[in-house]
Structure 1
């Protein structure tokens, strides 16, 4: 019974997605892909920051236990390394984006189309 309700809910919930899933061209596909990557970048930074904060809390909470204290320190270090890598990769991508004058998702569709496919 629950499985039937769940399937019915998913079918009703995702019907509009199927209705608006028409392919509108490569320019829209690239714009959507860029938006997804921006969202993933934000989630990665948030996850790395939460990882660092979790390590900090573990570091402070276990000040008396040297093994747990060391584990908290290692978590903080890996969280900082993850933040550094994410921000560095983003900076490198932005550098090449500026230098190569790549189109942005904030531009109009015609600007993106002209810059990528020369249409």
Structure 2
């Protein structure tokens, strides 16, 4: 058997064991756990895409008119923008599907997007 498959199965088993060992009463707890993990991954990927974009901007500014460096920096900027646009589109699509199928508004919450009071209470 492939060693990476064995490692993946062992790690997956170690991660999933506490969920079943504590005999949780609802499947929602597992969904909340997975959703929280996905939120963390999504935030990390947005951060990576933003860093790629900003690094491309810095390279473009520091190219000082060099054709090759400018071309390389433009490619980084373009890929950073594409990466961000695809992530936003997929995130929006997932939100729409979750809302439509499960009537679950905000399964993948945007960090810091809690309820904002409109009037002082």
- TM-score by structure 1 length? 0.65
Query: Distance in 2 between the 1:68 and 1:62 partners?
Result: 5
Bigger Rg, structure 1 or 2: 1
Q: Which runs of 5+ in 2 are unaligned?
A: 1-17, 109-121
Going by fraction, where is helix more abundant, 1 or 2?
Answer: 1
After TM superposition, give the deviation of residue 102 of structure 1 in Å. Answer: 3.6
Which residue in 2 is equivalent to 1:28? 29
The structure-2 alpha-carbon separation of the partners of 1:35 and 1:68, relative to structure 1 and needing over 3 Å to count, comes to same
Q: Displaced runs of 4+ in structure 1, greater than 4 A? A: 103-106
SS in 1 for 2:65: coil
> Which residue is 1:96 aligned to?
97
Partners of 1:52 and 1:74 in 2: CA distance: 10
Tell me how far 1:22 sits from its aligned partner: 5.4
What CA distance in whole angstroms lies between the structure 2 residues aligned with 1:22 and 1:61?
51
CA RMSD of aligned residues (A): 2.4
- Structure 1, gaps ≥5 residues long: 1-20, 107-119
Shift of 1:27: 2.7
